[in-house]
């Protein structure tokens, strides 16, 4: 008997695809055996997948729960009480993403070496020093009873699945490959993952470290050229002498988030839509991998009916919509991390100077277990400002500057209550209730856009953003002087907010959100303006929009940076002597429509050219200092503009001037293009270089990439287009962008248009493992329908029954 709502022909095709995948997996595993693997391929093939259908009796439930999975594996969870709802969410998420959940909490807690070995020791030392888990533990007591219940019952659901999978031999194959087993899940694990996402959307302290190194290594005039412009008369240097700490070396092993982490979101008023109700569109940009960062779910229980995505391991819906409202997020990226230069007592290394007195730091002993190695013990010191971050890579305790250290203060290391806010978002019915829920959201600061069935559209930059007594987050500051303390945060009522603007739309793309008259400092380094400018350009083009228009805009490949930069570069090539092939390549750029489409050759040449330019301009920095460079693209734009206006700075002059720099970079880029794709540039294709494979964490171990990764898929866009698709400059592999895209028409709030790349499941043999990979790359969507009162949905039905 077929499952309800499943076409028999479709089911047959799915079975055929699964058998093809089984054969592929068999060959991959036999290859593993051939190179010394320790497990048999047959064991893997007979290892059962979690069953998405059927009836299971589970201890911990109060009443029966139904879980319907649609054709893309998206679970719709129906429960008669909220405890069972979150229990089932934990259980179902673990079915699909248990290995990802295990590795996420280990990464954020500094415990990867327990299952990976010495390779991840520096990473573990860094996260033990940072203390994300300590911050999560400190936050737990700040939550309401309702939120704590959600955390605890979610954890019980995860643990119920862990027990079942262990007993039935259903643990994901990755656990056996690593020789590991999942530990019981706890509420602190969920909060730690939340803290890690704050880390992934932070990283401003890297810019402070970079500017410190600039002033240490270069004359002030040269250093100032690479410091971001600030409203007013340019960058403000505090006047304090930078320390002699070699941060390029001491932070070489630090785990910095990708600078491009951000997103697009926008809302359009019903006055400008075909349906007459607002649209909301959101595509959060983070790492692109297998499994996806986002996990799509629908939750239905008493007083709650919400659909959207969350992070595997976190209850509720982080971003999505219910039957009355929809909301989306992008990263504000404010300066919420400050580095403090601390003076250490030469006789007592755990004491630091403050206002003429030596203060005792808190000492935390951290023991790191190492697979197949000796356990490591490290000591973390926490000053009044935060943890010392310049010594984590020196477990022997030998310090380069024994009398000086660098500590970090960061909003996310304080007790915060983001999950409280999320659970309230899920229940909000209007802007007033959603706005009230935002009071609980502290870190990371986010650009929220909002739309509701009553026609309201709104925007708010929300979260803790510090107000400094002195200094502006540009450089590390003296930790021994009280005038450099924070005096609080931007008052909640003064955070940037817009409701129902006359323009009829609101859009953000990590761009600058305030005018020069805004009284508070937010950041020195906004994202490049090109994505935001393109979104605004499109939203101003028409009087009426459709949902299809929103989808096209989310996957738009127009590169506005290339539109202004390419003519500037081409101008510098005039008067030079070129080979026939080089001249043909330049002509391609002259005729380019500035779309980063995968079939075109001009995007490949453009991006290779810009990459060569930056390598030449910033070569004096050295690789380790260059890794700290925050805002490099913005600085490059400014240097090139100034040089084109006849005001070249030292960094351009050092390469022989603008013309010589541009011509030399073009020749190197052209030669690289030929090495990549042959002599004839007219046959090059951006998509042949710029491809996505949705890499799995274990795929670095060959030949496991054959088992876990998707086939390479050509992708359009770039880091400068609305269709964000950042890539590795060496391999061309796309590793950053919007793993989830959604469009919601508030005229039909129970429906949304979505895609999760590469798919819902982290189980390699699941039909939902990579089933959305092609759709993601090609800009295709599927419709997600929430359960309504007209009847139960089709799909695979899983019944979870209480054991009593």
| 144-182 per-position pLDDT tens digit | 999 999 999 999 999 999 999 999 999 999 999 999 999
Q: Which residues of 558-584 are buried (b: 16+ CB within 10 A; e: fewer)?
A: bbbbbbebbeebeebbeeeeeeeebee
Supply the pLDDT for residue 203. 82
Chain centre to alpha carbon of residue 343:
35
Domain coverage including residue 617: 560-594+601-684
Least Cα distance to 255 among 130, 348, 355 occurs for: 130
pLDDT at 8: 34
pLDDT band of 239, cuts 50, 70, 90: very low
Is 662 within a domain? yes
Q: Quote the pLDDT of residue 229.
A: 63
Per DSSP, which regions of 194-303 are E strands?
262-268, 279-287, 294-301
Does 128 have pLDDT greater than 80?
yes
The strands making up 796-802's β-sheet, listed across from edge to edge, are 54-58, 796-802, 65-69, 75-78, 294-301, 304-311, 319-322, 325-331, 446-452, 457-462, 497-499
d(CA 271, CA 446) in angstroms, rounded, equals 26
Full 3-state SS string of 480-496:
CCHHHCEEEECCHHHCC
The answer to whether residue 724 scores a pLDDT higher than 80 is yes
Point out the catalytic residue in the list 139, 243, 248, 263.
Answer: 263
**pLDDT at residue 238 tops 80:** no
Read off the pLDDT of residues 241-254 as tens digits, 9 standing for 90 and up.
Answer: 457 788 898 898 89
> What does the pLDDT read at residue 228?
78
Q: For residue 660, what pLDDT is reported?
A: 98
The Cα–Cα gap between 178 and 175 comes to 5
CA–CA distance, 43 with 45 (Å, rounded to integer): 6
- Taking CA atoms, 324 is separated from 22, 73, 273, 505, 663, in Å, by 44, 25, 17, 19, 57
Task: Give me the mean pLDDT over the 230-248 stretch.
Answer: 51
List pLDDT tens digits, range 12-41: 444 444 444 444 444 455 444 444 444 444
pLDDT in tens, 635-675: 999 999 999 999 999 999 999 999 999 999 999 999 999 99
Mean per-residue pLDDT for 608-629?
A: 97
pTM metric for this prediction: 0.93
Contact assessment for residue 727 and residue 721, using Cβ atoms and an 8 Å cutoff: no
Phi, psi of 483 (to 5 degrees): -70, -10
| Strand 733-738 versus strand 725-727 pairing type | antiparallel
* 57-79 average pLDDT score: 96
For residue 396, the model assigns a pLDDT of: 54
Looking at residue 234, what is its pLDDT?
Answer: 30
Catalytic: 263?
yes
How confident is the model at residue 400, as a pLDDT?
56
Q: What is the 3-state secondary structure (H, E, C) of 119-187?
A: HHHHHHHHHHHHCHHHHHHHHHHHCCHHHHHHHHHHHHHHHHHHHHHHHHCCCCHHHHHHCCCCCCCCH
Q: pLDDT tens, 255-264?
A: 988 877 779 9
126 or 27, which is more confident?
Answer: 126
Question: Does 102 reside within a domain?
Answer: no
Question: Is residue 552 included in any domain, yes or no?
Answer: no
Q: Is 796 inside a domain boundary? A: no
Span 136-144, average pLDDT: 98
Average pLDDT estimate for 577-583: 97
Per the prediction, the chain carries an average pLDDT of 91
Output the pLDDT for position 747.
98
In a domain, 621, yes or no: yes
Annotation: binding site for Ca(2+) = 335, 338
- pLDDT of 792: 65
Task: Report percent pLDDT > 70 for the chain.
Answer: 90
Question: Considering the domain boundaries, does residue 338 fall inside one?
Answer: no
In a domain, 326, yes or no: no
> Do residues 759 and 772 touch, judged by C-beta distance below 8 A?
yes
pLDDT of residue 236: 31
CA distance 395 to 397: 5
Which residues define the annotated binding site?
Answer: 335, 338
Torsion of Cα atoms, 608 then 610 then 614 then 617, to 10° = 120
What was the pLDDT predicted at 790?
60
How many other C-beta atoms are found inside a 10 Å radius of the C-beta of residue 486? 16
Whole-number pLDDT of residue 402: 73
At 542-569, the pLDDT tens digits run 999 999 999 999 999 999 999 999 999 9
Q: pLDDT tens digits for 459-478?
A: 999 999 999 999 889 999 99
pLDDT at position 44 is 54
Q: Count up the domains in the chain and report the number.
A: 1
Residue 3 pLDDT greater than 80, yes or no: no
- 497-546 tens-digit pLDDT: 999 999 999 999 999 999 989 999 999 999 999 999 999 999 999 999 99
Buried b (16+ CB within 10 A) or exposed e, 420-447: bbbbbbbbbeebeebbebbebbbbbbbb
């Amino acid at each position: 008997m077929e499952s309800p709502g499943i076409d028999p022909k479709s089911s047959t095709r799915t079975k055929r695809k699964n058998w093809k995948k089984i054969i592929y997996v068999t060959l991959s595993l036999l290859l593993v055996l051939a190179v010394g693997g320790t497990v048999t391929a047959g064991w893997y093939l007979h290892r059962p997948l979690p069953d998405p259908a059927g009836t299971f009796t589970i201890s911990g439930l109060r009443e029966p729960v139904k879980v319907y999975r649609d054709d893309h594996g998206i679970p719709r969870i129906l429960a008669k009480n909220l405890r069972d709802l979150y229990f089932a969410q934990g259980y179902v998420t673990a079915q699909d993403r248990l290995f990802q959940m295990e590795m996420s909490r280990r990464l954020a807690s500094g415990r990867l070496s327990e299952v990976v070995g010495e390779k991840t020791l520096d990473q573990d030392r860094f996260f033990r020093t940072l203390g994300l888990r300590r911050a999560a533990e400190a936050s737990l007591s700040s939550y309401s009873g309702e939120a704590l219940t959600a955390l605890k019952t979610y954890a019980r659901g995860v643990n119920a699945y862990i027990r079942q999978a262990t007993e039935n031999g259903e643990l994901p194959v990755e656990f056996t490959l690593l020789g590991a087993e999942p530990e019981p899940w706890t509420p602190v694990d969920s909060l730690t993952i939340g803290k890690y996402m704050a880390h992934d959307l932070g990283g401003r302290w890297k810019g402070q470290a970079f500017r410190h190194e600039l002033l240490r290594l270069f004359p002030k005039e040269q250093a100032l050229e690479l410091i971001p412009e600030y409203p007013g008369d340019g960058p403000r240097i505090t006047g304090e002498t930078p320390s002699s700490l070699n941060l390029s070396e001491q932070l070489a092993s630090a785990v910095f988030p990708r600078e491009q982490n951000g997103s697009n979101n926008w809302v359009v008023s019903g006055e400008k839509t075909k349906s007459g109700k607002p649209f909301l569109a959101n595509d959060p940009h983070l790492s692109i991998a297998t499994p996806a960062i986002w996990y799509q779910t629908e939750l239905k229980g008493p007083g709650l009916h919400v659909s959207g995505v969350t992070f595997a391991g976190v209850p509720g819906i982080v971003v999505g919509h219910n039957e009355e409202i929809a909301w989306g997020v992008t990263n504000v990226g404010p300066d919420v991390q400050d580095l403090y230069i601390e003076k250490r007592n030469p006789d007592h290394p755990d004491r630091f100077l403050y206002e003429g007195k030596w203060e005792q730091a808190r000492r935390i002993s951290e023991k790191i277990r190492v697979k197949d190695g000796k356990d490591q013990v490290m000591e973390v010191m926490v000053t009044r400002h935060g943890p010392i971050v310049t010594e984590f890579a020196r477990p022997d305790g030998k310090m380069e500057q024994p009398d000086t250290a660098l500590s970090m203060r960061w909003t996310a290391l304080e007790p915060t209550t983001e999950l409280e806010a999320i659970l309230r978002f899920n229940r909000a019915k209007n802007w007033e209730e959603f706005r009230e829920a935002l009071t609980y959201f502290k870190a990371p600061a986010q650009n929220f856009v909002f739309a509701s069935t009553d026609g309201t559209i709104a925007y708010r930059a929300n979260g803790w953003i510090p107000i400094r007594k002195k200094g502006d987050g540009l450089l590390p500051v003296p930790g021994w002087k009280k005038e450099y303390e924070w005096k609080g945060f931007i008052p909640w009522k003064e955070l940037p907010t817009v409701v129902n603007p006359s323009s009829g739309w609101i859009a953000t793309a990590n761009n600058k959100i305030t005018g020069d008259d805004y009284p508070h400092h937010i950041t020195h380094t906004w994202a490049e303006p090109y994505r935001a400018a393109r979104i605004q350009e499109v939203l101003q083009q028409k009087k009426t929009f459709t949902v299809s228009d929103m989808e096209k805009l989310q996957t738009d490949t127009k590169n506005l940076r290339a539109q202004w930069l390419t003519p500037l570069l081409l101008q510098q090539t005039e008067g030079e002597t070129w080979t026939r092939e080089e001249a043909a390549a330049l002509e391609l750029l002259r005729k380019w429509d500035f779309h980063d489409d995968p079939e075109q050759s001009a995007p490949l040449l453009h991006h290779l050219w810009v990459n060569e330019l930056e390598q030449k301009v910033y070569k004096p920095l050295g690789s380790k200092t260059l890794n700290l460079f925050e805002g490099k693209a913005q600085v490059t734009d400014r240097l090139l503009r100034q040089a084109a206006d006849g005001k070249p700075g030292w960094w351009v002059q050092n390469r022989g001037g603008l013309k010589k720099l541009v011509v030399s970079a073009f020749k190197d880029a052209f030669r690289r293009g030929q090495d990549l794709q042959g002599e004839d540039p007219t046959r090059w294709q951006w998509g042949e270089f710029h491809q996505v494979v949705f890499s799995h964490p274990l795929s670095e171990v060959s030949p496991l990439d054959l088992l876990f990764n998707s086939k390479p898929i050509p992708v359009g866009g770039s880091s400068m287009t609305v269709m964000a698709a950042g890539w590795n400059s060496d391999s061309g592999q796309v590793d950053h962008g919007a793993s989830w895209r959604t469009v919601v028409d508030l005229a039909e709030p129970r429906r949304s248009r979505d895609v999760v790349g590469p798919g819902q499941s982290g189980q390699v043999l699941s039909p939902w493992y990579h089933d959305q990979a092609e759709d993601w790359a090609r800009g295709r969507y599927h419709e997600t329908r929430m359960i309504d009162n007209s009847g139960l949905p089709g799909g695979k039905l899983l019944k979870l029954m209480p054991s009593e």
